[in-house]
């Protein structure tokens, strides 16, 4: 009996280690490896998979910071509370010199740098869901309702489900000149019948980037470019591949 229980415990322990192998690798590299005392930049965000019913097409919006780039609806999570815990981690927010500038709209965004030895602490804090945004509604409303892309009455209430979390650990960023930890939560919109019809109607409109959005195909996403009449009219952000279960 004891031998049987020990086998079960061992099997579960191995399974748990396998599930968390990436986090364990990150822990070892940042606590004991060359990244321990380096500044590591975090960007923790969420994306919406909004598929036009009955098609392989998806609704994307223009990036508000990067000109002529389409991407999924979504954005960076926000944090609440004071800076006490973050300051213990050697926290520094993004600014125009070390990242993307912070303005009134981006204040509190989970886009910042910490000292390497505290990287896993940040991830554990995020997983706890305390003193941070946990809903994905805000960016949906800001990017689709407030811009009148979607009808406010039809989409006054939305349902969605979390379908995956994708992370990239300790990748060098030429743009930010530092190593990064990127975390993306992907949510899938679950439209009701009225919302499905609204999405179908939207997809029938001729694409015009001046309207702030485009309906793109899965092939467009794979190629990371939006084409019309054989000409590229917009780039597509690499993270968009997560909508079609690809990595980047």
Considering all CA atoms of the chain, what is the largest pairwise distance in Å, rounded to the nearest integer?
71
CA 53 – CA 220 distance, rounded (Å): 18
Within 64-222, strands assigned E span 69-71, 74-76, 92-93, 111-115, 160-173, 178-189, 213-217
For 149, phi then psi, to 5°, come to -65, -40
Residue 22 lies in a domain: no
Q: For 38, what's the count of Cα atoms within 13 Å in the CB-facing half-sphere?
A: 17
Residue 29 lies in a domain: no
48-52, 105-109, 160-164, 238-242: the lowest-pLDDT one: 105-109
For 207, phi then psi, to 5°, come to -60, 130
Q: Let me know if 102 is exposed, middle or buried by CB neighbors in 10 A (0-12, 13-18, 19+).
A: middle
The reported pLDDT for the residue numbered 28 is: 94
- Residue 7 clears pLDDT 90, i.e. is over it: no
152 vs 100 pLDDT, higher one:
152
Residue 156 lies in a domain: yes
Tell me how many degrees the CA angle 128-130-131 measures, rounded to the nearest 5: 150
The mean pLDDT of 51-78, rounded to a whole number, is 96
Residue 215 lies in a domain: yes
**Closest listed residue to residue 100, CA positions, set 65, 48, 152:** 65
**Structure tokens of 245?**
């279960």
> How does the average pLDDT of the chain come out, rounded?
89
Residue 104 lies in a domain: yes
**Pairing verdict, β 160-173 and 39-49:** unpaired
With cut-offs at 50, 70 and 90, classify the pLDDT of residue 14.
Answer: very low
Looking at the structure of the chain, the number of domains it has is 1
3-state DSSP assignment of residue 171? strand
Residue 121 lies in a domain: yes
The reported pLDDT for the residue numbered 108 is: 87
pLDDT tens for 175-231 read 889 999 999 999 999 999 999 999 999 999 999 999 999 999 999 999 999 998 889
CA 133 – CA 78 distance, rounded (Å): 5
Domain of residue 166, residue span: 35-244
The mean pLDDT of 229-246, rounded to a whole number, is 95
Residue 146 lies in a domain: yes
The mean pLDDT of 101-120, rounded to a whole number, is 83
Tell me how many degrees the CA angle 90-91-96 measures, rounded to the nearest 5: 130
pLDDT > 90 in the chain, percent: 74
The reported pLDDT for the residue numbered 17 is: 35
- Residue 61 clears pLDDT 80, i.e. is over it: yes
Residue whose tokens read 């822990």: 27
Q: For residue 79, give every residue at least 6 positions away whose Cβ sits within 8 Å of its Cβ, in sequence order, or none.
A: 86, 108, 109, 110, 131, 132, 133
Residue 155 lies in a domain: yes
Sign of CA dihedral 63, 68, 69, 73: positive
The mean pLDDT of 120-131, rounded to a whole number, is 95
The reported pLDDT for the residue numbered 15 is: 37
With cut-offs at 50, 70 and 90, classify the pLDDT of residue 145.
Answer: very high
CA 41 – CA 93 distance, rounded (Å): 9
**Pairing verdict, β 225-228 and 231-236:** antiparallel
- Residue 137 clears pLDDT 90, i.e. is over it: yes
With cut-offs at 50, 70 and 90, classify the pLDDT of residue 83.
Answer: confident
The mean pLDDT of 23-44, rounded to a whole number, is 93
- Residue 157 clears pLDDT 50, i.e. is over it: yes
| Predicted model pTM | 0.86
């Amino acid at each position: 009996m004891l031998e049987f229980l020990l086998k079960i415990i061992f099997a579960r322990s191995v399974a748990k280690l396998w599930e968390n192998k990436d986090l364990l690798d990150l822990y070892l590299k940042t606590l004991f490896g060359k990244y321990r005392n380096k500044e590591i930049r975090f960007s923790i965000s969420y994306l919406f998979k909004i598929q036009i019913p009955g098609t392989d097409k998806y609704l994307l919006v223009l990036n508000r910071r990067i000109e002529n780039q389409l991407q999924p609806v979504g954005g960076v999570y926000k944090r609440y509370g004071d800076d006490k815990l973050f300051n213990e981690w050697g926290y520094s927010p993004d600014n125009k010199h070390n990242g993307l500038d912070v303005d009134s709209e981006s204040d509190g965004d989970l886009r910042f740098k910490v000292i390497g030895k505290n990287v896993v602490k940040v991830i554990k804090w995020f997983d706890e869901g305390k003193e941070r945004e946990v809903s994905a509604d805000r960016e949906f409303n800001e990017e689709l309702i407030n811009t009148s892309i979607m009808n406010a009455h039809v989409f006054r209430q939305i349902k969605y489900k979390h379908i995956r979390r994708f992370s990239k650990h300790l990748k060098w960023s030429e743009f930010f000149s530092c190593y990064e930890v990127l975390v993306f939560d992907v949510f899938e919109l679950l439209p009701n019948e009225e919302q499905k019809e609204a999405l179908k109607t939207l997809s029938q409109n001729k694409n015009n980037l001046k309207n702030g959005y485009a309906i793109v195909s899965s092939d467009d996403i794979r190629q990371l470019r939006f084409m019309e009449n054989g000409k590229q009219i917009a780039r597509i952000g690499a993270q968009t591949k997560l909508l079609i279960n690809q990595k980047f």
